[in-house]
Amino acid sequence: MGIDHRMSRANAPTLEDVARLAGVSTASISRALNDPDKVAKPTRDKIEKAIDALGYTPNFGGRALASNRTNTVGAIIPTMANAMFASGVQAFQEVLSEAGVNLLLATTGYDPEQELRQIKALIAHGADGLMLIGDARPQTTRDFLDKRRIPHVISWCFQPEASPVHVGFDNRAAAYAAMQRVLALGHRRIAMICGVRAGNDRAGDRLDGVTAAIADFGQGAELIQVTEARYRLEFGGDAFEAIMSHTPRPTVIMCGNDVLAAGALKRARELGIDVPGTVSLVGFDDIGLASVVTPPLATVRVPQIEMGRAAARLLLARLGGQDGDGPVELHTEFMPRASLAPPAPDSP
């Protein structure tokens, strides 16, 4: 390894090499690189030629040390296995990339301790700022972000009293609206397969929205069962099976996200339970999956791409010293599809 270093160092031209070749000072080159307007055109040309001739690229460590910035930001998400985060992060990265900023990515598996560990790791690795998902995190973590004055944005959630670092949508309101649509179709016996709520405010908010909509609706509507399940196909299936093995059965099952709903749907097929004939299914997120399964899943469309982009823009603004125009609220849309139908007429 020592050898490697020496070799790469030996190979790598430094600012001083460029300066010598171009016949200017290192300061001018630095300026030409970082703030071209400060350097006269002819000088800039000489410098450019020298840089090309040597194949010079600035040394990252030197730059970071002197300027105290890395032009790198971190994103910490629960998992990439969920297409929703994957596409959001992709959009996030694309916007950063256009601004010459790179992305450090880490995952937590929905574990708050893991999140703090990753926050520390990314900061130690030089991230200038962070993008985090959701609002549920221990005080320790909040304190760390505050004390270290770490520029960050929080995405995938939005509360009426959101702070300027938030960019997302109101999970509770979206779930409330979806539930209203379902109630309007005539459903009264409702079950929910909810994501694990510990350390995940979105899961809790979605349940709250469903609960509140049912309560506000009245007319005998009732949430007869709630099962928590980790966001994986098979757990969605297990939860579905558990719910359907109880009497009375619900006429509709609201699911914490599309993965759970797809798992439920798959299990329904395996059990010979007709969807939506026997029971309707509603998902959340509208990932690609939702429209490909049979029947297609009714769900809530979440603007994943736009959210990733908006998060990137807000974070870049904050890093640039501006406030950005946060908080940013994005809107969701209920997508009625064939997995949702009115309850069968013979169900009381």
Contact predicate 254/189, CB 8 Å: no
Residue with Cβ nearer DNA (40 or 80): 40
66 belongs to the binding site for DNA (CB under 7 A): yes
* Candidate list 3, 4, 21, 30; residue touching DNA; CB under 7 A: 30
12 belongs to the binding site for DNA (CB under 7 A): yes
Choose one: 19-27, 158-166, 265-273, 308-316; the region binding DNA (CB under 7 A).
19-27
Cβ neighbours of residue 65 under 8 Å, at least 6 residues apart?
A: none
- Name the binder of 24 from a copy of itself, DNA, none, CB < 5-8 A by kind: DNA
Closest approach, Cβ 289 to a copy of itself, in A, equals 6
26 belongs to the binding site for a copy of itself (CB under 8 A): no
148 belongs to the binding site for a copy of itself (CB under 8 A): yes
- Name the binder of 140 from a copy of itself, DNA, none, CB < 5-8 A by kind: none
- Name the binder of 83 from DNA, a copy of itself, none, CB < 5-8 A by kind: a copy of itself
28 belongs to the binding site for a copy of itself (CB under 8 A): no
Cβ neighbours of residue 233 under 8 Å, at least 6 residues apart?
A: 259, 262, 263, 266
Q: In 3D, which of 248, 194, 260 has the Cα closest to residue 224? A: 248
Closest approach, Cβ 176 to a copy of itself, in A, equals 28
* Candidate list 21, 105, 224, 317; residue touching a copy of itself; CB under 8 A: 105
Closest approach, Cβ 40 to a copy of itself, in A, equals 25
Q: In 3D, which of 292, 288, 320 has the Cα closest to residue 302? A: 288
Q: In 3D, which of 222, 268, 201 has the Cα closest to residue 241? A: 268
Ranges within 319-348 binding a copy of itself (CB under 8 A): 320-321
Radius of gyration of the chain (CA): 26
262 belongs to the binding site for a copy of itself (CB under 8 A): yes
Residue with Cβ nearer a copy of itself (49 or 120): 120
* Candidate list 21, 54, 86, 185; residue touching a copy of itself; CB under 8 A: 86
Choose one: 26-34, 65-73, 179-187, 209-217; the region binding a copy of itself (CB under 8 A).
65-73
Under the rule (CB under 8 A), what is the footprint of a copy of itself? 1, 4-5, 7-9, 11, 55, 57-66, 68-72, 79-81, 83, 86-87, 89-90, 93-94, 97, 100, 102-107, 118, 120-126, 147-149, 233, 262-263, 265-266, 269, 288-289, 291-294, 320-321
Under the rule (CB under 7 A), what is the footprint of DNA? 2, 9, 12, 14-16, 23-28, 30-31, 33-34, 37-40, 42-43, 56, 58-59, 61-63, 65-67
